[in-house]
C-alpha cells in the first residue's frame, strides 16, 4: 500500500506492507537515527514525534500515520547544524554510546515545545520512557536544566 | 525486519461508525479493531484486516445535561491527564492514576477505551473507573450504556459484542465531589502494577457512606472488594477502621500470583494499600482543605 506522510516537514510517498512497523519503514527510508532497542515499547530508543508527541515507533503500524506528521532526530539537527538540545547534551556529558540519545532528545524537544520552563519533576516524567544504560539520567537532566537558564 | 502482523492484508481507517458497520458487513475475514495499538507487540494477532478506529470522533470530554462527565473512549491517556474537568473530578483520582500509568511515549498512544477492553489484570484506569461507578457506552447509543462493575461478571474482563465499538466512558456527577484516591505498587514507576487500589467514598456528617474499594493487579480483572466496603460504610474514619478494611480486603480476595510477586506478598501489600489509600482519600479531599 502507499503511505503518504510528512517526515521532518517534507512529504513522502512510501510503499509499505500493511503489517510493517513505523520503525522499520523510517529506517528503510534513511532515517537511521530511529533505533531499535527492546522492540516492545519499553526502552524508548525508537521514539519519534507523531504530530509533536513522543511515541514508540516499534509499536505503531506504519499504515496508521497516513497523512500525519512525523519528526525524527534528523529533523531536529545534524552535525553541521546541531540543535541547542543536542549541544547541551554534548556539553554536559549526557551522551556516551549515543544509542538512546535520539529518543531522549526528541522527548526533550517535545517537552520544551509545550512547557518551556519545566520543573525537575516534569523533566523526569518527560524522560520516563527513555531508558539509558550507560550515561544514566543525571547528566541529561543537567543538560536540559542548562537550557532553561539561557 | 519484524512485522507486527505478518499476514495482514488490509488496513482500514474509517471515520464513522456507519463506515465500520459497512466494513463488518463486507468481510468475513479475521478482523482486529485497533485504537492505541500498544498491545499489538504482545499479542501479534493473526488477522487479515485491521480496522483502525483512531480517526473516529470519540475523543475529549464534555458534561451532559445531567452533569455527568462523558469521555470519548479514543482519548489517549496523555490527553486525558491534561483535561481540566478530569483533574478536578473526585480529588483528581484519574490524574493520580495516569500519573502512574506507563511512560510518556506509551501514554500518547494508549486510549482509555483500549485500557478497559484489553482486559489486562494490571490495567490501572479500570481500577479508578470502577471506584467511580463509571459506565461504558457502545456505538454512541445511550440505550447501550452499562456499568463497568456488574456483580454477575465481577473480576472478569469486560467483553462487548464483536461488532460493537466502545465510544464513551461516563463518570457520574454524583461522585464528582467524593473523597477518592488511587495508588499502585510496582517495581518502577512505569512498570505494571503488582497491586493497585482505588477508594472512593462520601462523608455523611462524620460517617463514611457509599464507599467503593477496588483492587487491580491481583485478580483477573480489577474488581470491587465489597467486604471491605461493608467495613467502611456507616463508620467514622480512623486508623483502626482503615486497618480493619485492609485486613478484610486481603482475606476476602482470591489473589493470583505471577512472575512479579507471590500471592502472600500481594496479600500483605493489598492490606497496607487499602489502609493508606483510604487515608489519602480522606486527606486529599478539596472539601477537607
pLDDT confidence band for B65 (50 / 70 / 90):
very high
* B259 domain-assigned: yes
Which H or E run includes B184?
A: strand B179-185
ipTM given for this complex: 0.96
pLDDT digits (tens, 9 = 90+) for B23-64: 998 887 789 999 999 988 778 889 999 999 999 999 999 999
pLDDT confidence band for A57 (50 / 70 / 90):
very high
Q: Chain A residues contacting B, CB < 8 Å?
A: 1, 17-21, 24, 28, 39-42, 44, 47, 50, 53-56, 58-61, 63-64, 66, 107, 125-129
Based on the domain organization, do B84 and B187 belong to the same domain?
A: no
Question: How many inter-chain contacts (A to B, CB under 8 Å) are there?
Answer: 94
- Estimate to the nearest angstrom the gap between the alpha carbon of A71 and the chain centroid: 7
Give the other-Cβ count within 10 Å of A94's Cβ. 26
Report the pLDDT value the prediction gives residue B120, as an integer from 0 to 100.
Answer: 86
- CATH class assigned to A84-149: mainly alpha
- Rounded distance, CA A98 to CA B177, Å? 48
Q: Does B78 touch chain A (CB under 8 A)?
A: yes
* B3 domain-assigned: no
Judge residue A117's burial from the number of C-beta atoms within 10 Å of its C-beta, 0-12 exposed, 13-18 middle, 19 or more buried.
exposed
The residue among B109, B142, B174 that closes a domain is: B174
Contact A40 B189 (CB under 8 A): no
Report the pLDDT value the prediction gives residue B287, as an integer from 0 to 100.
Answer: 45
CA distance, residue B55 to nearest chain A CA (Å)? 10
Based on the domain organization, do B105 and B138 belong to the same domain?
A: yes
**Which residue from B203, B128, B177 is spatially nearest to B286, judged by alpha carbons?**
B177
Across the interface, of A59, A64, A125, the residue whose CB is closest to B41 is A59
pLDDT confidence band for A150 (50 / 70 / 90):
low
- Estimate to the nearest angstrom the gap between the alpha carbon of B111 and the chain centroid: 11
Contact A64 B52 (CB under 8 A): yes
Report the pLDDT value the prediction gives residue B1, as an integer from 0 to 100.
Answer: 64
User: Which CATH number do you get for residue B76?
Assistant: 3.30.465.10
pLDDT confidence band for B232 (50 / 70 / 90):
very high
Residue owning grid cell 456507616: B234
* B38 domain-assigned: yes
* B289 domain-assigned: no
Which H or E run includes B115?
A: helix B112-117
- Rounded distance, CA B282 to CA B181, Å? 8
Based on the domain organization, do B184 and B170 belong to the same domain?
A: no
pLDDT confidence band for B257 (50 / 70 / 90):
confident
Across the interface, of B3, B42, B109, the residue whose CB is closest to A20 is B3
Note the CATH number of domain A2-75: 3.10.20.30
**Average pLDDT in chain B:** 92
Handedness of CA A52, B105, A67, B111 (dihedral sign): negative
Give the other-Cβ count within 10 Å of A115's Cβ. 12
Every domain of chain A and the residues it spans = 2-75, 84-149
pLDDT confidence band for B289 (50 / 70 / 90):
very low
- Rounded distance, CA B114 to CA B73, Å? 8
Least confident of A94-108, B85-99, B106-120, B154-168: B154-168
Based on the domain organization, do B160 and B212 belong to the same domain?
A: no
Based on the domain organization, do B271 and B212 belong to the same domain?
A: yes
Q: Indicate yes or no: pTM above 0.90.
A: yes
* B89 domain-assigned: yes
DSSP annotation of B141: -
pLDDT digits (tens, 9 = 90+) for B88-138: 999 999 999 999 999 999 999 999 999 999 888 889 999 999 999 999 999
Smallest CA–CA distance from A128 into chain B, residue: B103
Provide the domain limits for residue B97: 61-174
Based on the domain organization, do B253 and B240 belong to the same domain?
A: yes
* B98 domain-assigned: yes
- Rounded distance, CA B222 to CA B234, Å? 25
Q: Can you tell me the mean pLDDT for B193-211?
A: 96
The residue among B143, B174, B205 that closes a domain is: B174
Tell me how far apart the 2 most distant CA atoms of chain B are, in Å.
Answer: 63
* B5 domain-assigned: no
Total domains, chain B: 3
Q: Can you tell me the mean pLDDT for B14-21?
A: 96
Based on the domain organization, do B89 and B146 belong to the same domain?
A: yes
pLDDT higher than threshold 80 for residue A27: yes
User: Which CATH number do you get for residue B244?
Assistant: 3.30.390.50
Amino acid at each position: 500500500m502507499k503511505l503518504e506522510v510528512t517526515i521532518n516537514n517534507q512529504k513522502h510517498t512510501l510503499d509499505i506492507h500493511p503489517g510493517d512497523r513505523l520503525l522499520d519503514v523510517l529506517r528503510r527510508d534513511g532515517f537511521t537515527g530511529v533505533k531499535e532497542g527492546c522492540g516492545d515499547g519499553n526502552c524508548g530508543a525508537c521514539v519519534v514525534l507523531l504530530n509533536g508527541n513522543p511515541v514508540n515507533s516499534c509499536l505503531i503500524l506504519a499504515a496508521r500515520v497516513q497523512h500525519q506528521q512525523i519528526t525524527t532526530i534528523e529533523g531536529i539537527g545534524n552535525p553541521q547544524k546541531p540543535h541547542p538540545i543536542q549541544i547541551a547534551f554534548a556539553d554536559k556529558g549526557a551522551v556516551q554510546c549515543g544509542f538512546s540519545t535520539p529518543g531522549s532528545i526528541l522527548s526533550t524537544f517535545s517537552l520544551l515545545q509545550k512547557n518551556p520552563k519545566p520543573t525537575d519533576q516534569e523533566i523526569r516524567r518527560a524522560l520516563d520512557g527513555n531508558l539509558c544504560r550507560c550515561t544514566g539520567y543525571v547528566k541529561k537532566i543537567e543538560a536540559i536544566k542548562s537550557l532553561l537558564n539561557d | 525486519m519484524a512485522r507486527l502482523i505478518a499476514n495482514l492484508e488490509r488496513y482500514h481507517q474509517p471515520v464513522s461508525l456507519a463506515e465500520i458497520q459497512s466494513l463488518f458487513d463486507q468481510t468475513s475475514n479475521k478482523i482486529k479493531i485497533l485504537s492505541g495499538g500498544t498491545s499489538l507487540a504482545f499479542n501479534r494477532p493473526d488477522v487479515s484486516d485491521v480496522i483502525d478506529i483512531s480517526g473516529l470522533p470519540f475523543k475529549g470530554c464534555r458534561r451532559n445535561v445531567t452533569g455527568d462527565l462523558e469521555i470519548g473512549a479514543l482519548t489517549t491517556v496523555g490527553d486525558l491527564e491534561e483535561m481540566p474537568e478530569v483533574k478536578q473530578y473526585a480529588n483528581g483520582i484519574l490524574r493520580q492514576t495516569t500519573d502512574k500509568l506507563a511512560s510518556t511515549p506509551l501514554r500518547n498512544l494508549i486510549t482509555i477505551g483500549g485500557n478497559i477492553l484489553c482486559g489486562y489484570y494490571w490495567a490501572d484506569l479500570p481500577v479508578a473507573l470502577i471506584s467511580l461507578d463509571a459506565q461504558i457506552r457502545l456505538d454512541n447509543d445511550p440505550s447501550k450504556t452499562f456499568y463497568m462493575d456488574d456483580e454477575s461478571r465481577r473480576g472478569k474482563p469486560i467483553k462487548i459484542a464483536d461488532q460493537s465499538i466502545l465510544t464513551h466512558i461516563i463518570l457520574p456527577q454524583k461522585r464528582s465531589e467524593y473523597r477518592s484516591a488511587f495508588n499502585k505498587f510496582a517495581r518502577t514507576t512505569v512498570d505494571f502494577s503488582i497491586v493497585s487500589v482505588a477508594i472512593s467514598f462520601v462523608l455523611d456528617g462524620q460517617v463514611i457512606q457509599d464507599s467503593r474499594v477496588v483492587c487491580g493487579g491481583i485478580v483477573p480483572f480489577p474488581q470491587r472488594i465489597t467486604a471491605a466496603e461493608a467495613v467502611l460504610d456507616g463508620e467514622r474514619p480512623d486508623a483502626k477502621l482503615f486497618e480493619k478494611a485492609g485486613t478484610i480486603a486481603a482475606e476476602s480476595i482470591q489473589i493470583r500470583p505471577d512472575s512479579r510477586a507471590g500471592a502472600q506478598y500481594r496479600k500483605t501489600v493489598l492490606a497496607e494499600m487499602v489502609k493508606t489509600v483510604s487515608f489519602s482519600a480522606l486527606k486529599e479531599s478539596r472539601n477537607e482543605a
